[in-house]
Chain A
């Protein structure tokens, strides 16, 4: 038992160290991919803990069922040292796992908050119940949910995008499920998120902070298009405005 415990602790520390090395790569990171990767690691971690406890629990429930009425449990009486050990050792295992997960989480978190310098800025304004996007050249775009008209957020593929967000009325949250990111918008404050559109395509962004009657309908199309197409689109949008 003790050997297994120390092996687990070492494994935790070892992976944390390996992770620190892996974090030092160049190039523009892809936070969504890192998120997915971390999610699988976390699931594995949870699965192991869950299986250990559940098996022990269900096995004991089955094994120690009373065989006759008025039977009394025969739990051994542990001495003080064993009891302290049985509290301290698991505590350290839990803490080791916590630190292991915290270290992994922190690495990906830094990716999430470290906006690449060349990121394209888009200003996002949330209001009940629509999103508006403003580009650096003054072009503005939005998406009307009822008529399905408008382009919504259009971004060039391969260029990181940072959203500078504020709200005109209540708290909203800009949630990009496909890019594994969300951040609240509030009146009087400015918040950020960034994402890396690696592939062309279309997805959605939706409001994730309760904002009243049409909360469910506060969503927008998000289009990832090749750079040339984006340049043409944003120029045309500017003329239209």
Chain B
């Protein structure tokens, strides 16, 4: 795609060390994971559309089939799509361009990290081939993950590969951002997306080893007969949950921050405005999240038998997250103030993101309160909450990013009509899918259930509506992704800066950028910012 003159050579792509090609490889892999995990979501929704077996065979083996879909959907969406889609694809493609660097600091390590990611995707897909399919959910809580007949090793190896891949990527980008900025580029002149990746990758680098260690101990317990999490032999069941969420709550910010970063870029460019209160959003928002992210994980264990004082203490730290997130939200909204907003597909996603951010963020507040979570936790209320804020908000960010930078990446314009149609299907579909789940969640519909005959009859109709929504989303996804494929081949040739952006990747590089990114080395002066439109 990026070299228009020479023909397509597969080997060049596989052994590439060019950050832009690596970025595209990340995108292809994560969209593949997204597609399969999305199919699993449809299966889950079809099964839930009526109480009792719908597509699973019967009440006794149904769980075995359904749980594998759930496992794959969760693990692949988070580890295979959201994290690599944002910190793999978007970060790889955009960071060096935004800071005016020729490439990343360690290009060969970058190549290794994308290979590991692809290996992780392959291992994850083995789920459908092995006879003992993993069924431990993406959380893998012991003792179930140790005693189940399912293949826990596949889960552990997927985490290992994805984790190692993201550690390498994090090391690489942190060094790149810190040492390879264009001469003259100060910390307060960085793109918001660069800042969001910097903070997200610091979290990723610090916390991923903890997850890797926890799942490794799980592997030892399962296959080598150790007793790390076996209470009968001095182990502690709760400890795994603590270690797991010590990583996995910060992981939410690894997804959330770059997603916010993408919307900042889109808003500033489309409204032709500077970022509102840049320093508050960067230092009070993003940096504060890094500091606080490691002190809130107990909210995943509010009803798991932790000491009472800890549940109360972390209720306060968890509620405090509203401060940095609130500052970032105000900054995002404020960027529109007195702007000159042009509406195109990325901005459609951006406007939807305002709404998703509010719904997802605000429904998080009752879940941060210990006593509210004692009822709402593990119900479909939680399920709808994190789908709004983590699932859909961030998926829309990836879509918006592809749409926004598509002219740069492919050198072609997207089909605007199809993009908009896809957006409306996606946006309406997710609302139809997840609002019913909020409602029955409050009434007590538990997560991870495929049969719910014990609950009031009307749960069935809510589930049916949600299933219809899921299919509307599916149509939207097909429209969106096919638009990329068709436009990459048949699209109109893109002008060099179609959105009139002031950011380096639009102003100083060819479209698409060639090897070495910048024809001449970039320097910026003290007045330059990516958002200086006056």
A-side residues, CB < 8 A to B, are 35, 38-39, 42, 45-46, 49-50, 53-54, 56-58, 60-61, 64-67, 70-76, 78, 83-84, 86-87, 90-91, 94-95, 97-98, 101-102, 105-106, 108-109, 112-113, 146, 169-171, 173, 175, 177-178, 180-184, 186-189, 191, 204, 206-217, 219
Contact = CB atoms under 8 A, between A and B. Distances in A.
Nearest to B63: A213
A42, A84, A217, most chain B CB atoms within 10 A: A217
A105 B372 contact: yes
A108 B322 CA distance: 21
B354 A73 contact: no
Given A64-B340, A64-B341, A57 B354 contact: yes
Given A70-B500, A189-B231, A189-B305, A75 B338 contact: yes
B354 A54 contact: yes
B369 interface: yes
The range of chain B's interface size is: 35 or more
A46 B365 contact: yes
B371 A182 contact: no
Contacts of B231: 186-189
A72 B316 CA distance: 42
B355 A54 contact: yes
A74 B371 contact: no
Contact of B378 (A56, A102, A208): A208
A215 B64 contact: no
B340 A212 contact: no
Interface in B354-383: 354-355, 358-359, 362-363, 365-366, 369-372, 374-375, 377-379
B144, B274, B355, most chain A CB atoms within 10 A: B144
A50 B449 contact: no
Nearest to B143: A170
B188 interface: no
A37 to B, nearest CB: 11
Given A170-B144, A181-B374, A216-B63, 8 more contacts: A35-B375, A57-B355, A65-B343, A66-B341, A171-B141, A173-B378, A210-B447, A210-B448
A57 B331 CA distance: 11
A175 B444 contact: yes
Nearest to A77: B274
Interface stretch (B176-184, B216-224, B450-458, B511-519): B450-458
Interface string B309-336: 0011001100110110011011001111
Contacts of B442: 39
Contact of B326 (A90, A109, A217): A90
Nearest to A91: B323
A182 B137 contact: no
Contacts of B303: 173, 182-184
B507 interface: no
A62 to B, nearest CB: 9
A175 B379 CA distance: 10
A74 B533 CA distance: 9
Given A61-B336, A95-B320, A191-B305, A46 B378 contact: no
A39 B372 contact: yes
B232 interface: yes
Contacts of B139: 210
A73 B358 CA distance: 25
